Structure 1
Amino acid sequence: MATRATYGSFQFDFLTSAGTVTVNDSLDLLAQFMGVQEPVEALTNLAMDGSLSLQRALEERLAIIDCTPADIQRFIVEHPPASRLVPGIKELITALQARGVAVYLISGGFRELILPIAAHLGIPKGNVFANRMNWQWDDETGAPTKLVGFDTSEPTAHNQGKPQAIARIRQRNPYNTVVMIGDGITDLEAVQTTGGADLFIGYGGVVERPAVAAEAEWYVYDYKALVDSLARYRVAMIGSGAWACAVVRMMAQNTKVDDPADEFVDEIRMWVYEEDYQGRKLTEVINETHENPKYFPGFHLGDNVVAVPSIEEAADGADLIVLCAPHQFVHGICKQLMGKVKPDAAAISLTKGMRVRPEGPQLISQMVRRYLNIDCAVLMGANIATDIGREQLSEAVIGYDNLDQAERFKKLFERPYFRIGLLPDPVGAEMCGTLKNIVALGAGMVDGLGLGPNSKATIIRQGLVEMRRFSRALYPSVREDTFLECCGVGDLVATCYGGRNRLVAEAWTRAHMDGSPRTFEELESELLKGQKLQGVLTSNEVQEILRKRHWEQDYPLFTTINRIINGYLTPKFVVDYEAGCTFSDPATAEGSDDDGDAPPVQRRSRKESVVPAVSVSA
């Protein structure tokens, strides 16, 4: 049996009768305009109570009114649609349509009177079911002149006609739930017939009919009750680093709006790894100042963002989960959330990286699907957090399998300065976001060597070639044009000029060239202030795949960068990557003497170059 919960969901078609949209019946008001109000209203009441057949009532009412097309035009001018609407109906329809709900208007009245109302409410003509007046046409002018009845072939001309109209709607949308709201017996028929509506909501805001109220599964007098009952999504942010804070700031702007069409709960819970900041808990500082002074200083996150130290608390009851933590920690986060998220929740990953397992690589979105058993899209693009915090023009794509969820996330994220496209290639988008961090290390090395834009452009171009080749080698379904999207070349260029991987790689290279080498861990701590470096870890993960599949020389830039960061080659080899990849693989000759082919720097094991999984503010 359909319930209010059915109405609160979004996968339904909403049907309303004309009597629940306007404060007066259009035909009765036309009768008043024509000076024949009382006899026409009497017939209307007999039909609505079920004492007179709908077809006979329509025939007799039209015969009494006996209007011309000019009369109808004058009537519409004198009684414009906005002046006749029931309070709250426009807000309700706007809220439904914003959620992707198809709204239909079914009326036992006439299209000539109903279509202006539908247009004002934003209901397409094709979603209006109503009767049509028949006219006598002048032979000389070809214009309609005299009313001669109506078209009785329309389903709405008869009792039980509204269920027939619903049957046609079901043919268009066979899988949706159908909700009907009405105030008369003919509206109630819509749910009493097999194949009719799934839920009937009675409306008594204009006329209360006891027979309808007695049979309705839900009876309301004010449309605000329906607006307030629409489901709204609760949002959780898992992570609180610079990028997470930039995103939560945009989400907070979008959820805190005074708009009945808003789909989101105002409050956003953000998981923050608890740590001290100037002698106080970081969560306390964020909740008091509405700013993350450690990782995103100077930017107001929003009064509706609540920092919590527990992942479980952040995700509890969330409908939309936004994951934005360093990729080396996501596996532990997913295991911690197993069985603790809503089964119908949806996730989106903003994390760039992958996990290497004995059976093969696993992308972050794949990990989320496996452990949490929910859909997971990805958001990738050229997104430097501080630029977005300053509201500078930026763009991203949502890579998706589920279009409905992608459109919902787009509404959650998009701002005038943050443009979002939809891309049906989540794997391709995520691979771009993962691999570009390796190329950014190479770009930073070029900068550290003091070389110019030509050299850097060469590294970026070769990096894009290897990103595309590697992605399609692992996942043949990845689309070619994905690499031309903002998640591909756009993100790559931004990262190679302004990202943290480039910054640290430049400093690391300068230190080596100055004869005072430093580790990535030292520079990460000094330059990133608690943020995590992704490129080194991703390079080692990708290189493990290349080595196992004997692909090292197919990806000369990836291979050379990895050998440089692990101390097997000097940074100068970044611009001689074709030679750098040809030396025998050091990983398979660990402990052997140098053969003199490759000038070594201070070597380190691959395990040492991985950023350790210590405490983190994601």
Structure 2
Amino acid sequence: MGKVAVLGAGSWGTALALVLADNKHDVHLWTHRETLANEINRTHKNEKYLNDVELPSSIKASNDLASVVSGAKHVILVVPTKAMREVCGQLKQVLNDKTILTHASKGIEPGTFKRVSEVIREEIPSHLYEDVVVLSGPSHAEEVSLRQPTTVTVSSKELEVAEKVQDLFINRQFRVYTSPDLVGVELGGALKNIIALGAGISDGLGYGDNAKAALITRGLAEIARLGTSMGANPLTFSGLTGIGDLIVTCTSSHSRNWRAGNKLGQGYPLDDVLEQMGMVVEGVRTTKAAYQLAQGQNVEMPITSGIYRILFESAEPRDVVDQLMTRIRRHEMEDLTNILDEKMNE
């Protein structure tokens, strides 16, 4: 098996490194912190991010980016979206061999409204890679690291390259599908984090499953509206990277975004919540980007707008959720019908 470089030793990067090691690949894991690299190599654990999970001794960690990517046939980028440009800027300085770049980060860049694959393509010259692939889907790192059954999707502009990444990761517990809809796969993974914040807020307020189910369902309609306005296939949002990822992120205590929203619903200030979390909450940054993007695209996204007001305008969570639950009545099928009609008329 060839060498694979995984950039980012958080919970998800470490879990993916474990999958690759199980598949007998030569896995090199990069972290910018030397102390963490030493801990992983010495104890074969990453206690901060994956407590009590034993890592295969074949995973080699390092804070030397050049040595990690040297000779790697695949480079897997699993860093927070806010760090993606910086890491790609470093990566292009040390890439010598043409490789396949795969990212497993979920977000939209505020200001530019770029998807992660677009950021990567802007930062790294095309002669240094074969293609950019996205890996996304309902996949908590904690469960993947315990080798519990998980199914994800990979997508790229070139299907043949996505299939190479499919072969790289797939095993008995970690199943991988391919999709031709790169835009939809990326946007589904990014936008569901906003709705997960809302689901957590609803739970933190003490509202029940009925309210949360309504937020999730209407949230999916919002994701589809914005996604199709950006060129995604609406059917993608009924799959793993749409409703699948939405369900798992909105209903599980493993979800950082749900946990952060839950704290907000209980009345904790945003800065305190983020400090308590100790890990990146992608939904906060994505909310700002999606709110601005929706305004520019003239797309109605009431849940996203409400979460934006809570995060950045100090709106009271209870007031926002109550307003969302009592909005003007409309036909339930109106959103889906309009989306499909627009797609059919293209």
Matched, 1:363 2:115: yes
Q: Which amino acid aligns with 2:26?
A: E
- 2:4 partner SS: strand
Identity of aligned pairs, percent?
A: 29
Point out 4+ residue stretches in structure 1 off by more than 3 angstroms: 547-551, 578-581
Paired amino acid for 2:269: T
Residue 354, structure 1, aligned to residue 100, structure 2: no
The alpha-carbon deviation at position 366 of structure 1 amounts to 1.4
CA distance, structure 2, for counterparts of residue 519 and residue 333 of structure 1: 30
C-alpha root-mean-square deviation of aligned residues, in Å? 1.9
The structural deviation recorded for 1:415 is 2.2
Q: Which residue pairs with 2:259 in the alignment?
A: 503
Task: Specify the code of the residue in structure 1 equivalent to 2:247.
Answer: V
1:537-552 paired onto structure 2 within 5 Å: 537-551=285-299
Is the counterpart of residue 302 in structure 1 residue 56 in structure 2?
yes
Determine if the alignment matches structure 1 residue 395 to structure 2 residue 145. Answer: no
Residue 29 of structure 2 is matched in structure 1 by: 270
Q: Contact 1:382–1:491 (CA<8 Å) still a contact in 2?
A: yes
Q: Find the counterpart in structure 2 of residue 413 from structure 1.
A: 169
**CA deviation string 1:417-439 (max 9, x = no partner):** 22111111111100000100000
CA contact (8 A) 2:184 2:227 kept: yes
- Distance between the aligned counterparts of 1:342 and 1:479, measured in 2? 36
**1 CA distance for matches of 2:27 and 2:98?**
18
What aligned pairs does 1:185-584 form with structure 2 within 5 A after superposition?
A: 233-255=2-24, 266-274=25-33, 281-357=35-111, 360-372=112-124, 373=126, 374=129, 375-474=131-230, 476=231, 478-498=232-252, 499-510=255-266, 512=267, 518-526=268-276, 528=277, 530-551=278-299, 554-572=300-318, 573-577=320-324
Alpha-carbon distance between aligned partners in 2 of 1:331 and 1:579, rounded to the nearest angstrom: 41
Q: Deviations over 1:438-480 (max 9, x none)?
A: 0000000110111111100100011100101101112x2x112
Measured after TM superposition, the shift of residue 343 of structure 1 is 4.9
Letter in 1 for 2:123: Y
Looking at structure 2, the residues matched to 343 and 293 of structure 1 have their Cα atoms a distance apart, in angstroms, of 33
- Cα distance, 1:331–1:578 mapped onto 2, change above 3 Å: farther
TM-score, with length taken from structure 2: 0.88
Per-residue CA deviation, residues 62-112 of structure 1 (Å, 9 max, x unaligned), is xxxxxxxxxxxxxxxxxxxxxxxxxxxxxxxxxxxxxxxxxxxxxxxxxxx
Residues 31-110 of structure 1 mapped to structure 2, 5 A cutoff: none
- 3-state SS, counterpart of residue 338 of structure 1: helix
Distance 2:52 2:171 in 1: 20
Deviation per CA, 1:570-593: give whole Å up to 9, x if none. 111124227789xxxxxxxxxxxx
Measure, in 2, the Cα distance between the counterparts of 1:576 and 1:427: 31
Corresponding residue for 2:339? Answer: none
Determine the C-alpha separation between the residues in 2 that align with 1:568 and 1:555: 19
> Which amino acid is the alignment partner of residue 270 of structure 1?
L
d(CA) in 2 for partners of 1:402 and 1:548?
Answer: 30
1:561 alignment partner AA: I
Query: Whole-Å Cα distance in 1 between the matches of residues 36 and 96 of structure 2?
Result: 28
- Contact 2:205/2:265, CA 8 A, preserved across alignment: yes
Measure how far apart 1:411 and its partner are.
2.0
Larger strand proportion of the pair? 1
Separation in structure 2 between the aligned mates of residue 394 and residue 320 of structure 1, nearest angstrom = 21
Match of 1:52 in 2: none
Cα distance in 1 for partners of 2:178, 2:93 equals 29
- What do the CA deviations read for 1:113-155 (whole angstroms, capped 9, x no partner)? xxxxxxxxxxxxxxxxxxxxxxxxxxxxxxxxxxxxxxxxxxx
Task: Output one character per residue of 1:347-366: Cα deviation in whole Å (capped at 9) or x when no partner.
Answer: 11100012134xx4211111
Q: Contact 2:2–2:26 at 8 Å: present in 1 too?
A: no
Question: What SS is found at the alignment partner of 1:531?
Answer: coil
Q: What's the offset of the Cα at 1:310?
A: 2.5
Partner of 1:181 in structure 2? none
Determine if contact 1:556/1:578 at 8 Å carries over to the other structure.
Answer: no
Distance change >3 Å, CA 235–CA 329, structure 1 → 2: same
Q: Distance in 2 between matches of 1:343 and 1:430?
A: 26
**Structure 1 length-normalised TM:** 0.50
Report the counterpart of residue 119 of structure 1 in structure 2.
Answer: none
CA distance in 2, matches of 1:544, 1:342: 38
Higher relative contact order (CA 8 A, sep 6+): 2
Q: Deviations over 1:244-298 (max 9, x none)?
A: 111110100102xxxxxxxxxx4211111216xxxxx221111011111121121
Paired residues of 2:227 and 2:234 also in contact (CA < 8 A): no
Distance in 1 of aligned mates of 2:207 and 2:224: 26
Residues in 2 aligned to 1:398 and 1:549: alpha-carbon distance in whole angstroms: 27
Unaligned runs of 5+ in 2: 329-346
